[in-house]
Structure 1
Amino acid sequence: MKKRSTRLSLIERALIERDWHQTAIVAQIHALCGNNSQGMVEAAGRVLFVVLAAVVADDHQLDSDDLNLIHQTLIAMHDQVDDPEISSTRRACIICGLQAAERIIPLLQRCSLVSAACKLKEKLKKSHILLEDFNDLIDFDQRRPINQDQLQFF
């Protein structure tokens, strides 16, 4: 009996990449005009997780203004996650974070983005993504500590 490899095939990786790009579009729609708070947090969180994981994989400079905007977005998502009403301030912050992610994406290697999207998919099979998972990617503690590491984003 042939043992199945744990490595994803090229087709599986391509499908994960396609799904992630669709999630990025959904995140923008939710942020711009959606009324589903949880959907907005989930979609934005998936986009930001993949971008941050790819930033780390590509060893980019972490002190950029865009990464600081993403950090502020994570704080806004933290505040939004259990609130069914989307405040205009949080919506604006999440939009800014997604726009910052869009500016970072062209600087990243495609293989890093795909690998990060695959990492996210595998992680979601086992558990939810927590705020702690973002802090594990990039040490935001120097900017503003977020210590509610049991908060579940998606």
Structure 2
Amino acid sequence: MTTVKLMLDTNIFNRVLDGKINSNELTEAGQLFATHVQIRELKNTPDQERRDALVKVFQKLPLHDSPTLWILGETPLGSGILSDEKSGKLISRIQIELDSLKKRDNNHLDSMISEVAIREKMVLVTDDNYLRQVVLKLGGAALSTVELKIIRRS
């Protein structure tokens, strides 16, 4: 039996902290992955107390690191891989699609996470409806926490 690879979007760490999904539900659903983007976004949480709690959630989960495409000014050294033409076009397409649905400051970061999930054939777990919609449109796999719970119970 193949283990499902789950890329956790940043909002999933908030869901765990808020009690919307139990960390055991995630770990039992598959192998968990994150990139440098998620921890960076968590560390940018304005409220210090919440930021510290989110970082603890991140550190407690058995996460496997997955490199993003290397993007100047975005990717720390050692956390990215060089882009090929296919991946470069994919990340651009994700950003364009996200921007067309709703222009947000973090769309470029969501594009980085999503590109990894699609490229590595992972299921993106996100409660961002726009992001889930784009990933599915571009041939990737994506589930919300509610969908993940339903699948696990069936």
Query: Counting strand residues as a fraction of each chain, which structure ranks higher?
Result: 2
Under a length normalisation based on structure 2, what TM-score does the superposition of the two structures give?
0.29
Query: Counting helix residues as a fraction of each chain, which structure ranks higher?
Result: 1
Higher relative contact order (Cα pairs below 8 Å, separated by 6+ residues): 1
Under a length normalisation based on structure 1, what TM-score does the superposition of the two structures give?
0.29
